[in-house]
Chain A
Amino acid sequence: MTEIATRPAVPARAGALAGVRVVEMGFAAAGPLVGKYLANFGAEVIRVESRLAADVFRTTYPPFKDGIVDPDRAGMFAFYNDGKRSATLNLKHPKGVDLARALIGTADVFVESFTPGTVARLGLGADTLRAVHPELIVLSSCNQGQTGPHAFHPGYGSQLSALAGFVQLLGEPDSTPVLLYGPYIDYIAVGYGAIAVLAALERRKRTGIGCTIDLSQYEAGLQFLTPTILEFAANGRIPGRAGNADAVAAPHGVYPCAGSDRWVALSVWSDPEWRALVTLSGIAGPATAAGRRAARAGLDAVIGEWTATRERDAVVALLRAAGVRAAPVLSISELFSDPQLVHRGMWPAVIHPAIGPMHVMAPPFRLSGTPSRQERPGPTVGADNDHVFGEILGLSVDERRTLGGDGVFD
């Protein structure tokens, strides 16, 4: 008996989406992250890509491991595409398109995020595919949707987040708007895209019929701004930047702590919470919520003085113990050691063949019966060609060699 053998064998539980095959052609975040979530819950997600027209996350967007620009060392790609397979096809070659069509024919879901019209020109449009495979679910995700006067206007997420109105709502009232860091709206479209695919799968269980889904990242993003649009339509007011002020809670802000760039967020939603803050800090202020909202700026200044000499985490602990809502403003590096996120397994560790040890991101919701599994980082280019073209499409080694010689797998 060895030590190792005493560990009980746990039968691998199949993911909720086991048996679902997804073929994906896309780039950057908005398409591929849909496939990532599906893969995390057990779907077999095959990313079809080409060295001749590689994903910008493989070629253009840093960081690359050790700064060496190489498609297999691209951090963004590895991070966004965990759990997938990669198969290369040159879609400029007619046989490449034939193989793509054959592969999609074996799939339940086809996700694409090209410029509108691109897959149709290749003969891989939803209408063409579903004429032969009516049960297929096709998700097309793009900037502005497949139709309309701006359908062909190129764009990316950080700028689309500005157009939709998010940026206008972020910043200090006395200054310019600031960025929401990355392509914020893309991730909204990712969530809605995955929801749309799963809803279509559920409907297909009952009807046997697939679905063609046209997702505009712009329209998806506007869902998160519904109240501001309604406020303008109903009351004629355009909501703007408000710093950290809230319409109800006061105080409600982010305050400096001892040290460089250390901050605490706290908010007061009731009179008992206010009294707890007063007792703890000794600051004075109006007894009513309306009074505190009117005195917001002055209150923010005195709270800032109280926090400025204290350690961030000590302030947070004091506030929480007193029953006041508070949290540290965590830096990005701190997210990887935050006890709560670590407890939830937010950043699973994986070994990437070119990058080495790295982390990927778990879905932010946990399933008790069929939890997400994250064992493989994003694939290297063409890592699964043998599996996809040999085992799934049944091409012999000789056939593959010939096709490879013709540049079909470039």
Chain B
Amino acid sequence: MCGRILADLGADVVKLEPPGGEADRMRPPFLGDVENSERSIPWLAANVNKRGITCDLGSTEGRALFARLATSAPIVVESFAPGRLRALGLEDSLRDAIVVSITPYGQDGPLAAVPGSDLEVTAASGSLWLAGEEGRAPVRTAQPQSPYWSGMYGALGALVALQASSPQRVDVSAQAAMATVHPPAPVWWDIAGEEHGRTGPFLLGRSNVGSRFRNLWECAGGFVSFAIQGGPIGRHTGRMLVEWMAERGAAPPALGAIDWDRFDNSRLTQAQVDELEAEIAPFLRSLTKTEFFNGVVQRKMLGYPVGDASDPLADPQLAARDFWRSLAPGEGLPALPFPGGFALFDGERPAVRRRAPKVGEHNAAVYGEIGVTEDELARLRAAGTV
């Protein structure tokens, strides 16, 4: 993902894989459920906009080739186990590059050598602790998130380093990356000595007296995200809710009695919260996701439906901002809607301009650019180096 972001910004990002391709090319699911190295959906998502080459770093010739390539790159991104670059004798060739290293726990420290996947680093970051229902096991997001966070912070680190006067190492820890995603929980511990835990569909941190507020509600055929809130943030939403309920024939006594100008959710007891929420629940259950979305947008209320993977593709806001970028992910495959660049720069959205590379697709071009002759490349191919 780190390389993907730099590529989105226009950098010429060359992905280096072992001959035959990296293992992540076989991560499911696959386009059309056809399992091959050019159809892994997560891999394709992370590698559009890049060129791809192969190089066997296990061989002396491969390492020599890498050293030649590295001198042409101001930024090198790697995710080997800590110490592997040194063991391969590649550190010298990276002296003049910003080297971004992305590992589960970082380059040094007591856990540096410990392997970990998304699940373990998420567990060690506190993020798992906060996700799930009381009394049941913590859960992780079904679409693994730590590679995205680590990659994003790697790109951020690379760009900070680019502003410094001399090249340096950027050491990203996935555990640390995932420990940044869940404030206010660390603040509650640090300032108030309160340990927050899993609360399922409820929000903590909105009360000075320990009450919790429902944030996820059933609606007709799905779920919506909504919460009772006062103050400058919530009072308009509260008023509109009461009006909306009245339009649909509901006259909730407790909700209707609220003076929204003075309403302070942070002082409500749990019994008061429960009473208000009991009045709202049947109303929300009577609405579909679409009815709720249209209703909150029309009334400028806080709240959204709980979207799934199909919803953004139908969202008029994203369409109006020309967010989607159509790209055929491989030769002979139909075009798919890729999320477009993450921001507009002077009104322009970075493009999804190049499909992810096949294994070694750009060997001739990239090695040619650093002066590897055709004969030399043929010899390296025959030797299995590329």
Contact = CB atoms under 8 A, between A and B. Distances in A.
Given A169-B143, A247-B28, A364 B321 contact: no
B71 interface: no
Contact of B31 (A235, A264, A347): A235
B336 A195 contact: no
B349 to A, nearest CB: 9
Contacts of B162: 198, 202
Interface stretch (A87-95, A206-214, A276-284): A206-214
Given A159-B303, A179-B201, A326-B120, A238 B188 contact: no
B202 to A, nearest CB: 7
A182 B123 contact: no
A57 B215 CA distance: 20
A80 interface: yes
Nearest to B166: A369
Interface in A330-348: 330-336, 338-341, 343-344, 346-347
A230 B304 contact: no
Interface string A212-244: 111110111011111111111111011111111
B157 interface: yes
Given A162-B225, A224-B145, A168 B307 contact: yes
B189 A333 contact: yes
A76 interface: yes
A164 B312 contact: yes
Contacts of B339: 219, 222-223, 225-226, 229
Contact of A359 (B170, B190, B323): B190
A347 B180 CA distance: 11
B184 A170 contact: no
Interface string A65-102: 10101000001101110000000000000000000000
B216 A368 contact: no
Contacts of A248: 27-28
Interface residues of A, number: 152
Contact of B156 (A167, A191, A333): A191
A340 B110 contact: yes
B225 A254 contact: no
Interface string A39-51: 0010000000000
Contact of B308 (A148, A165, A341): A165
A375 to B, nearest CB: 17
Contacts of A144: 317
Contact of B190 (A79, A158, A199): A79
B264 to A, nearest CB: 10
A106 to B, nearest CB: 19
B159 A195 contact: yes
Interface in B173-194: 173, 175-177, 179-192, 194
- Please provide the 6 A-B residue pairs with the shortest distance between their CB atoms, ordered closest to farther: A369-B168, A75-B191, A343-B109, A162-B225, A364-B176, A265-B123
Given A150-B317, A172-B136, A176-B223, 18 more contacts: A148-B316, A155-B304, A162-B306, A163-B304, A165-B307, A168-B223, A184-B181, A211-B346, A223-B342, A234-B336, A235-B31, A240-B142, A244-B139, A252-B119, A263-B137, A343-B106, A364-B149, A367-B168
Interface of B: 5, 9, 27-29, 31-33, 41-42, 44-45, 100, 105-106, 108-112, 114-117, 119-133, 136-143, 145, 148-149, 152-157, 159-164, 166-173, 175-177, 179-192, 194-203, 205-208, 215-216, 218, 223-227, 231-233, 266, 296-297, 300-313, 316-318, 320-321, 323, 329, 336-340, 342-347
